[in-house]
Amino acid sequence: MKRLALILCLLAAPVLAVEPSEMLADPVLEARAQALDQELRCVKCQSEAIASSNAAWAADARVLVRELIADGKSDAEVMDFFVDRYGEYVRMRPAARGAGLVLWIAAPLMLLGGIGIAALTLRRRRAAPEVAALSADEQAHLDELLDS
């Protein structure tokens, strides 16, 4: 029972991040704001979206998102505002252009490279020639060297 209560509290924690005073009266605009909150990274927490962060910066960012939306800005304009101010890092999913393109391409290339190296290693291991046993003279010479 305690585990269930703990799980429910952890699941409800992100809901507590957006305070009622931050919410817009228009449900359509609020839905847009919440979607943008999921796309913007908290620069203090660095691994959370501003929607689930309780940091003061995230609260200010949520308010700013709602102000920009209320001023008639599009989602792209709001995102561009934050990217211009805080850099591409503020996006939870970096754009696939410029330096962000490296992030999108690096992981698959590294995976393919690792598979290629593993395949070459296995191929070489299979193709290695069998080592012949020592002849009687070679074994006697080895025994003589080891005894001395």
Residue 6 or residue 48, greater confidence: 48
Query: Is position 117 within any domain?
Result: yes
Same domain, 21 and 81: yes
Query: How many domains are contained in the chain?
Result: 2
* One-character DSSP codes across 22-50: GS-SSHHHHHHHHHHHHHBBPTTTSSSBT
58-110 pLDDT per residue, tens? 999 999 999 999 888 898 999 999 999 988 888 888 776 777 677 778 889 99
Whole domain around residue 86: which residue ranges? Answer: 2-90
User: Residue 40 forms beta bridges with which residues?
Assistant: 91
Contact of 51 with 18, CB cutoff 8 Å: yes
Which pLDDT score is estimated for 16?
A: 44
Q: How many CB atoms lie within 10 A of CB 137?
A: 8
Over residues 37-49, the mean pLDDT reads 87
Same domain, 80 and 42: yes
Confidence band of 11 (pLDDT split at 50, 70, 90): low
Which pLDDT score is estimated for 145?
A: 92
Same domain, 78 and 109: no
Q: How many CB atoms lie within 10 A of CB 144?
A: 9
Query: Is position 45 within any domain?
Result: yes
121-144 pLDDT per residue, tens? 998 888 767 778 888 999 999 999
Confidence band of 47 (pLDDT split at 50, 70, 90): confident
Query: Is position 135 within any domain?
Result: no
* Tokens encoding 31: 């839905």
Query: Is position 80 within any domain?
Result: yes
Same domain, 9 and 82: yes
Query: Is position 62 within any domain?
Result: yes
Separation of alpha carbons 136 and 133, rounded Å: 9
Same domain, 14 and 60: yes
